[in-house]
Chains A and B, each alone.
Chain A
């Protein structure tokens, strides 16, 4: 009897719990694609690198928007894990822009840019919260420096809506 009562209670409690807006989704950078007819180099670990020694590479990474928040925000947190192995004295930064677009006219939205200086470790690039219009979508675009000795690139990214 105790067990049945516990089951009923748990059932009632479960139904009464508030729904969460979303969960954190993790993406490998293999989802990112190079623009301008270039091709990124993908590692088995899921990272995407720029192995070109003659030019920067723009990687565009999709963000799946599966929650339309009533407050009009696109995410609670958005983080890209990136690596800039540009050796000194070359001062080339890895920059990423997270943008939100309105598919009606593309005339409202936000863009948030974060830059990573040359360093030797994978770095989390954190983007501030941004509003995203109704029926809008979100996109990440990163400029990855050219390769000198070792390539720079993106490992993964994650979003919490």
Chain B
């Protein structure tokens, strides 16, 4: 719909410009545009008019083509999501769902990357101990699973509330000195967190570049 508005607006401007030129073409060119020595003459005026006319025709064709595309879309079809398009006009619940889906998509991507790496049980055991020390005892927070690959480690933790999760993140950040990313969401009465940590000497995967765009 936004594209159609732009095209219609563009067409309107082009048509007005074309009408202006058509009206002016009947007058003395020397009165329309002050003649400059060696400047534009009637032949150039005719060329410009032809160019504008061609643009108007092209824009009309484009409008027809877009109308056909719009008509072919289902009435309830949502606007295609693109990384560069702001979500103006979409509803808040939709945007919340989109963010959750994007979060889960990032986790799935990192999971797939992690799954392709050979396991390092020693590193996983060390990390498991460190993570456990980052949790406050008796709050319902717990380490559910820890595994390490060649470049990434992955941990699943559960937290009783947001404060416990925040404590976990701050402790992890302040003591481990690693690059890591935590994804969290509600899990019943608790908060489930999936953490990916880059192993020493390895960067975190660059999701901005590597995560395939949605279509």
Contacts and interface: CB of A to CB of B under 8 A. Distances in A.
B48 A5 contact: yes
B10 to A, nearest CB: 4
Interface string B71-105: 00000000101111111101011111111111100
Interface in B2-44: 6-7, 9-10, 13-14, 17-18, 20-21, 29, 32-33, 40, 44
Prevailing SS type, chain B contact patch? helix
Contacts, number: 194
Given A1-B29, A15-B9, A9 B182 contact: no
A46 interface: no
A86 B48 CA distance: 68
Given A115-B179, A131-B106, A71 B214 contact: yes
B99 A113 contact: no
B85 A70 contact: yes
A103 B204 CA distance: 28
Nearest to A13: B10
Given A1-B32, A115-B173, A69 B178 contact: no
Contacts of B98: 70-72, 134
Given A4-B17, A70-B95, A73-B102, A108 B44 contact: no
Interface stretch (A16-24, A25-33, A47-55, A148-156): A16-24
Interface in B170-215: 170, 172-174, 176-186, 191, 204-208, 211, 213-214
A8 interface: yes
Contact of A70 (B6, B32, B90): B90
Contact size range, A: 35 or more
B67 interface: no
B177 A93 contact: yes
A105 B14 contact: no
Interface stretch (B49-57, B118-126, B134-142, B144-152): B49-57
A87 interface: no
A12 B14 contact: yes
A132 B99 contact: yes
Contacts of B10: 11-12, 15-16
Contacts of A72: 95, 98-103
B83 to A, nearest CB: 5
A18 B79 CA distance: 15
A108 B100 contact: yes
Given A5-B48, A108-B99, A134-B96, A129 B87 contact: no
Given A113-B181, A133-B100, A15 B49 contact: no
Interface of B: 6-7, 9-10, 13-14, 17-18, 20-21, 29, 32-33, 40, 44-45, 47-49, 51-52, 55, 59, 79, 81-88, 90, 92-103, 106, 162, 169-170, 172-174, 176-186, 191, 204-208, 211, 213-214
15 contacts: A4-B48, A5-B21, A5-B51, A8-B55, A15-B13, A19-B85, A69-B83, A73-B83, A107-B184, A107-B185, A108-B103, A115-B173, A131-B100, A134-B92, A134-B99
Enumerate the 6 nearest inter-chain pairs by beta-carbon distance, A residue then B residue, closest first. A134-B95, A72-B99, A8-B17, A5-B48, A72-B102, A70-B87
